[in-house]
Structure 1
Amino acid sequence: MRQALRNAGRASLYLLTGAGLSVACYVMAGLVLAGAVGTALVLGAGMLPETVRALRALAGFERRRSGTWAGAAIPENYLPLDHGTLWARVRAAGTDPGTYRDLRWLGAQLVCGLVLWYVSLVLWPLALLTDGIWCGVAGRPALLLPQIVRLASLEARLSRTLLLPSRSERLAERVAELSATRAGAVAAHGAELRRIERDLHDGAQAHLVALSMRIGLARRAYGQDGEAARKLLDDAQDQAEEALAGLRHVVRGIHPPVLTDRGLAGAVRALAAGSALEVTVTVAGLTDGPEDGTRAPAAVEAAAYFVVAEALSNAARHSGAERAWVELTRSAGLLRIRVRDEGRGGAAESGGTGLPGVRRRVAALDGSVELSSPAGGPTVLEATLPGVW
């Protein structure tokens, strides 16, 4: 009975908010009518875009309210109203399918919000009397109090149905998102190729050229000056080792061998051990073994590794912090990475931080990156990567 009362109380608060929203909808309906009349008379055409903007704000509040109640966000999809001439903005406001969705919801909310609230007011005294006897005497579950919760759920479902963009609009938005992601992936791929080319040209190639020259000089000195030939061969060996070190550096930049040997969890622990900060690593759902069935795809592991590496590098160079925390969590087919430090904050995706590259690398795998770094800290970088396990 107590739990039923708590649930019904939450539902009543939700319905009361909906009733207040219905009153606001009456005001908004008047503004929409005034904007339409003003547009028809031409002199008041500037009212329409601003009225539609206010309507979007009201519908946005309902999206958040209903999404919170139902536990599922309601996406929005609108044409921009901030670009072009006045008539372009009027045309965008008048032809946007999102405007008609909002108007459809506005008309329904005018009636339903108040009606459902009044029904809940009628149910409360009946529920207290009936359920009080039914639960207190017979020891049975409440009968009428859950109906108040169902009224709130009905209002939330109605709002979702009316405000949710059509399937074609969601597909178009997804196509646009994937197009932008693909462009970012192409840019990231091009930047990576240029980096590899630069590393090979400035590192391994230069060492190999020097190695070839020293071997040629040693060959010419061989038989004439054995000591000089031996020194040249020693230099050539040093050049060969430097060339190998350069090639290993390039290979680590493409796919760190530690990922193959120890898995993501072990590789991140190795990063933490080599960091200038004191780093605490927490892992859930992943292990160090290379062949244990909990491994993410290689591309996902590489992206996660570079997210952690870049975040720890930035924290060591810019934050002034002494400690950092890394969390790796696998759940529901997703890999979540969270890197936090208690430094000075103020991190931004500029100034050579490497964060734009991190965002492009994650977006190429259809993942997301969120950065929170207020002045004074803490700085928290969170990335979510889809995976197939």
Structure 2
Amino acid sequence: MRATLRQAARATVHLFLAAVMAFGSYLFITVLLIAATGTVAVVGIWLLPETVLLIRRIAGAKRRLTADRTGREIPEAYRPITGPVRERVRTAVTDPGTLTDVRWLAAYYAYGWLTVLMLPLWPVGLVVDGVWSGLLGREALVLPLIVRLADLEARWSAALLRPSPKALLARRVEQLTATRADAVAAHGAELRRIERDLHDGAQARLVALSMRIGLAQRAYGADPEAARKLLGDAQDQAEEALTELRHVVRGIHPPILTDRGLVGAVRALAAGSGLKVAVRADDLEDGPADEPRAPAAVEAAAYFVIAEALTNAAKYSGCDRAEVVLARTRTGLGVRVRDEGCGGADESAGSGLLGMRRRVAALDGTVRVSSPVGGPTVIEVELPCVW
């Protein structure tokens, strides 16, 4: 009986909130219909985008309420209403998400009153089921009905608020367009960095090397000692040029990934970070020796994400400990970096998080950053791949 009471209480809370939204939708639709004629006659359709945005907020609140009941998120798929007034009106009218919200609002106007009628069942259920179960020892009758009604209302709302395939496709196209633009921008920035490093580093040293070898050749017959000194300088220049080239190569694809694999590379990265870093990667290390690795691009992205996160932790967190977790997920590779520092990471402050997001987005991955003031800072990355 206690479990039934708890379930009925949660269901009643859901129905109460649904009833409040239903009552509010009645008022909203009524006022909207009354004001529509006057608005179109006096102001025109320029207020339509604001009305659509208000409907989106109402539908969003209902999605969250329904998700709390069903345990499944209901995605949103809207086109952004931006730009000049005409463009805003066109987007508001043609967006498939607008049709979905209006359809739900109209249907909710029809079935929302059921939630209002179901609320009196709670006190009735307490009395009837208390007598029925307490005196006769039977199963409760009314309170389970409240639970079923709340589940039914949530299923109806979820079905009506779920975006259409057309809306989901449009949102996916927008996401891919944005990630492609970010990938192109990141690629351009990376190419400029490589060109700059080669021009200012290795190329300058190779030019100096060539000059010293030429001077040594001319001085060899007349002054062998000077020639030997010039050749010694040339050797130093050659070693410095090799160092610069290795630095550039590491920025493209760290050779350590090829030599040691992702886990070994991350352990080496952690050892040189200046922090006490605990690396956990059990399901990547304990698998069979011939088990396939993640693609090179995925491993490189994970490596650079961890390198950036540990660098930020060493510079800004104020703590000396961090944790890195690598995990094989159902859809790809998961990376989690946590430090117990002061938190407050700001992407707009040049902390490298924006570049991290762009690198991951280029692979259709996701980045979640949690960094409240006072800490901890947690960066979670999902990189899709096929194992």
Determine if the TM-score, normalized by the shorter chain, exceeds 0.5. Answer: yes
* Range with greater deviation from structure 2 (182-191 or 154-163): 154-163
Residue 276 of structure 2: aligned partner = 278
Tell me how large the CA RMSD over aligned residues is. Answer: 3.2
Unmatched runs of 5 consecutive residues or more in structure 2: none
Shift of 1:371: 2.7
Residue 112 of structure 1: aligned partner = 111
Over residues 138-183 of structure 1, what are the superposed CA-to-partner deviations in whole Å (9 max), with x where a residue is unaligned? xxx9898666544333222211221222211211111111011111
* Range with greater deviation from structure 2 (75-84 or 199-208): 75-84
Q: State the AA in 1 paired with 2:181.
A: A
Residue 61 of structure 2: aligned partner = 61
3-state SS in 1 of match to 2:112:
helix
Q: Whole-Å Cα distance in 1 between the matches of residues 130 and 259 of structure 2?
A: 65
Over residues 205-235 of structure 1, what are the superposed CA-to-partner deviations in whole Å (9 max), with x where a residue is unaligned? 2222222222223333334433333222222
Kept in 1, the 8 Å contact 2:327–2:335? The answer is yes
3-state SS in 2 of match to 1:244:
helix
3-state SS in 1 of match to 2:348:
coil
Q: Whole-Å Cα distance in 1 between the matches of residues 227 and 280 of structure 2?
A: 55
Kept in 2, the 8 Å contact 1:263–1:290? The answer is no
Q: State the AA in 2 paired with 1:249.
A: H
* Range with greater deviation from structure 2 (340-349 or 191-200): 340-349
Change in 2 beyond 3 A, CA 1:271/1:363: same
* Candidates 367, 374, 386, aligned match of 1:369: 367
Q: State the AA in 2 paired with 1:214.
A: R
3-state SS in 2 of match to 1:231:
helix
3-state SS in 2 of match to 1:350:
helix
Tell me if 1:84 matches 2:87.
no
Q: State the AA in 1 paired with 2:235.
A: Q
* Candidates 130, 155, 158, aligned match of 1:157: 155
Kept in 2, the 8 Å contact 1:263–1:287? The answer is no
3-state SS in 1 of match to 2:347:
coil
Q: Whole-Å Cα distance in 2 between the matches of residues 90 and 198 of structure 1?
A: 46
Kept in 1, the 8 Å contact 2:96–2:167? The answer is no
Shift of 1:66: 1.2
Q: Whole-Å Cα distance in 2 between the matches of residues 209 and 356 of structure 1?
A: 36
Over residues 228-276 of structure 1, what are the superposed CA-to-partner deviations in whole Å (9 max), with x where a residue is unaligned? 3322222222222112211111111111122122222222221111112
The share of aligned pairs that are identical, in percent, is 61
Q: State the AA in 1 paired with 2:324.
A: V
3-state SS in 1 of match to 2:63:
helix
* Candidates 295, 305, 308, aligned match of 1:307: 305
Shift of 1:360: 0.9
Kept in 2, the 8 Å contact 1:207–1:239? The answer is yes
How many residues align structurally?
384
Change in 2 beyond 3 A, CA 1:79/1:356: closer
3-state SS in 1 of match to 2:322:
strand
3-state SS in 1 of match to 2:285:
coil
Shift of 1:113: 3.4
Q: Whole-Å Cα distance in 2 between the matches of residues 36 and 97 of structure 1?
A: 21
The equivalences for 1:131-280 within 5 A come to 148-280=146-278
Over residues 86-114 of structure 1, what are the superposed CA-to-partner deviations in whole Å (9 max), with x where a residue is unaligned? x7656654554433322321232234234
Q: Whole-Å Cα distance in 1 between the matches of residues 355 and 286 of structure 2?
A: 27
